[in-house]
Amino acid sequence: MPVFLRKLMIPSAVTEISDLQHILDSLDAVVYVSDVETHELLFMNKYALKNIGGVNQFDDVKGKRCFEVLQKGQKKPCDFCTNPLLPKSGDTYLWEFKNTRNNCWYQCRDRLIRWHDGRQVRLEVAADITERKTVEEELREAQRELKVLAEVDSLTQLYNRRAFFMYADKLRKSLPNSSSLGLMILDLDYFKDINDSYGHEAGDTLLAAIGQKLLSFSGDGTVVGRMGGEEFAIAFHETQKREKEDFANLVYKAVSNVKALYFKDTLQCTTSIGVSSQPVSTPLRNIMRQADDALYRAKSAGRSQIKMS
């Protein structure tokens, strides 16, 4: 029993204190008291001693500061210490954190109280909420996976058609009013011949390889998507350093140089590209239509080339 609980030697009082100690030690929750100024630990119940402190009795941590016992490798007050945040009125401050010593999540109820010697201390009662946090994280992960499934083409890992339009329009609206949005549509040349000659599995192998190459162009200011079949689209912020014609040539060479190994065969194809660039005030569907018209001209002119709108 800590010294402060033995300060009264009146038998009835000792019994009451003993009962209080028993109640606190029977809780499946962390209960501890620390000095607000010095951070000295003044009390820990058995649950806290065992599950966080890693000891069996308070004498094993007596004289230590709370952050030394409650946190792993902590040599100074924690950055997340709630002492400055505790209401002076004595109201409870509710918060959650992940303990660095046992990696468990706790919901903490902290409040300022007066100790028997008059000094101000922090009383914390913390319940283990690790199971709840695990379920929450699993739910968030499931939501992230559902979002990916809803937005990403599983074969190429590029945005699907719906997601491409959504993010391309977000890009357009995010650019300065003086900017231009470039958009190119790519159609793989004679891709049907690959499917007819080698089978659809072979075609998928090449599509996946080209998708990975196009994915390397995605990033800030660029949105890449698979529009369906062997057609792809890239929306981009056109700048002096990335002029639409130069960028289209870079993409053309990258796609045309992709080689996919399918058993003993090496698959490869060229692409036709239509490009448009308009002020960001232009609706996305209009820019898309112009790029599509340019693609039609590229294919009509013999394929394996780039046409500008």
- CATH code at 226? 3.30.70.270
Distance of alpha carbon 267 from alpha carbon 206, whole angstroms: 7
234 is in which domain, residue-wise?
152-308
User: String of b and e for 96-115 (b: at least 16 CB within 10 Å)?
Assistant: eeebeeeebbbbbebbbeee
Residue 7 has pLDDT above 60, yes or no: no
- For 244-287, the pLDDT digits (tens) are 999 999 999 999 999 999 999 999 999 999 999 999 999 999 99
Structure tokens at 231: 């057609």
Residue 206 has pLDDT above 80, yes or no: yes
Give me the pLDDT at residue 147, please.
85
- For 143-168, the pLDDT digits (tens) are 988 888 899 999 999 999 999 999 99
User: Based on the domain organization, do 158 and 17 belong to the same domain?
Assistant: no
139 found inside a domain: no
Distance of alpha carbon 289 from alpha carbon 286, whole angstroms: 5
Residue 191 has pLDDT above 70, yes or no: yes
Q: Give the closest residue to 271 by CA, choosing from 290, 252, 254, 258.
A: 252
Compute the mean pLDDT over every residue in the chain, rounded to the nearest whole number.
93
Residue 145, class by beta-carbon neighbours within 10 Å (0-12 exposed, 13-18 middle, 19+ buried)? exposed
User: Based on the domain organization, do 198 and 276 belong to the same domain?
Assistant: yes
Distance of alpha carbon 46 from alpha carbon 29, whole angstroms: 9
Residue 103 has pLDDT above 90, yes or no: yes
Distance of alpha carbon 45 from alpha carbon 62, whole angstroms: 13
Considering 103, 133, 163, which residue would you say is the last residue of a domain? 133
User: Based on the domain organization, do 157 and 298 belong to the same domain?
Assistant: yes
User: Based on the domain organization, do 186 and 288 belong to the same domain?
Assistant: yes
User: Based on the domain organization, do 123 and 158 belong to the same domain?
Assistant: no
User: Based on the domain organization, do 189 and 237 belong to the same domain?
Assistant: yes
User: Based on the domain organization, do 176 and 291 belong to the same domain?
Assistant: yes
User: Based on the domain organization, do 162 and 279 belong to the same domain?
Assistant: yes
- Work out the end-to-end distance of the chain between its first and last CA atoms, rounded to an integer number of angstroms: 85
CATH number at residue 29: 3.30.450.20
Distance of alpha carbon 87 from alpha carbon 83, whole angstroms: 9
Q: Specify the number of domains making up the chain.
A: 2
User: Based on the domain organization, do 76 and 190 belong to the same domain?
Assistant: no
Q: Give the closest residue to 158 by CA, choosing from 256, 76, 235.
A: 235
What share of residues in the chain are helix, strand, coil (percent, to 5)? Answer: 40, 25, 30
Distance of alpha carbon 206 from alpha carbon 260, whole angstroms: 5
User: Based on the domain organization, do 78 and 166 belong to the same domain?
Assistant: no
147 found inside a domain: no
- For 166-190, the pLDDT digits (tens) are 999 999 999 999 999 999 999 999 9
141 found inside a domain: no
Residue 12 has pLDDT above 70, yes or no: no
Residue 5 has pLDDT above 80, yes or no: no
Distance of alpha carbon 304 from alpha carbon 187, whole angstroms: 9
Give me the pLDDT at residue 15, please.
64
144 found inside a domain: no
User: Based on the domain organization, do 103 and 157 belong to the same domain?
Assistant: no
Give me the pLDDT at residue 32, please.
96
Give me the pLDDT at residue 8, please.
47
Distance of CA 171 to the CA centre of its chain: 21
Q: Give the closest residue to 43 by CA, choosing from 129, 122, 126.
A: 122
- pLDDT band at 1, cuts 50/70/90? low
Number of other CB atoms surrounding residue 29 within 10 Å: 18
Considering 133, 165, 194, which residue would you say is the last residue of a domain? 133
Give me the pLDDT at residue 240, please.
83
Distance of alpha carbon 53 from alpha carbon 71, whole angstroms: 9
Considering 99, 133, 167, which residue would you say is the last residue of a domain? 133
The phi and psi torsions of 264 (rounded to 5 degrees) equal -95, -5
- For 13-35, the pLDDT digits (tens) are 556 668 888 889 999 999 999 99
Q: Give the closest residue to 268 by CA, choosing from 215, 308, 213.
A: 213
Give me the pLDDT at residue 227, please.
97
Close Cβ partners of 67 (under 8 Å, ≥ 6 residues apart):
39, 74, 76, 77, 78, 81
Average pLDDT over residues 287-309: 97
User: String of b and e for 219-256 (b: at least 16 CB within 10 Å)?
Assistant: eebbbbbbbeebbbbbbbbbeeeeebeebbeebbeebe
89 found inside a domain: yes
User: Based on the domain organization, do 178 and 124 belong to the same domain?
Assistant: no
